[in-house]
């Protein structure tokens, strides 16, 4: 069972900043190279990275370099190249914080050609 409500997935391409900030999980919209277009409040607070410091930077190499590996960034690049991506998996963030167990869902919304990194807390 995904931590992202199915009804919300369909709203992602048109999500407003206020709607994104109201969600109880991280929402990061990135372009095809990983540059952050939208970084919501939950993700900002969890990662201790202010929204203005994150947007416009590469998620995988500048904001969350602990994801610059085959499991996360590799899966993202493969999905973007194929034009199809929807993968959810457990992960542990380690950058700028104590190890934090999360669930990550990498998604590409085909119709809008937008990419999303969604992050939810995972029970210890």
Residue 96 pLDDT? 65
Per the DSSP assignment, residues forming a β-bridge with 115 are 30, 108
3-state secondary structure of 85: coil
Burial class (CB in 10 A: 0-12, 13-18, 19+), 112: exposed
How big is the CA angle at 94 (ends 52 and 117), to the nearest 5 degrees?
55
Residue 97 pLDDT? 63
Residue 100 pLDDT? 86
Please report which helix (H) or strand (E) contains residue 8, including its range. Answer: helix 6-11
Which residues lie closer than 8 Å to 37 by C-beta, 6 or more apart? 29, 30, 31, 55
- Per-residue pLDDT 10s for the chain (124 aa) are 678 888 888 889 999 999 999 999 999 999 999 999 999 999 999 889 999 999 999 999 999 999 999 999 999 999 999 999 999 999 998 866 678 899 999 999 988 999 999 999 986 5
Which residue do the tokens 């919300």 mark? 8
Residue 95 pLDDT? 65
CB-CB neighbours of 55 under 10 Å: 16
Residue 20 pLDDT? 97
Q: pLDDT digit string (tens) for 58-89?
A: 999 999 999 999 999 999 999 999 999 999 99
């Amino acid at each position: 069972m995904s931590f992202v409500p199915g009804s919300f997935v369909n709203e992602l391409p048109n999500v407003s900043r206020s709607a994104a900030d109201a969600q109880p999980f991280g929402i990061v919209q990135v372009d095809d190279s990983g540059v952050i277009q939208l970084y919501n409040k939950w993700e900002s607070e969890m990662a201790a990275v202010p929204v203005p410091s994150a947007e416009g930077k590469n998620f995988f190499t500048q904001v969350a370099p602990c994801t610059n590996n085959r499991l996360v960034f590799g899966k993202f690049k493969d999905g973007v190249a194929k034009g199809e991506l929807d993968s959810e998996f457990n992960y542990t963030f380690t950058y700028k914080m104590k190890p934090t167990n999360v669930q990550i869902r990498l998604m590409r919304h085909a119709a809008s050609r937008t990419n999303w990194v969604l992050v939810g807390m995972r029970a210890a």
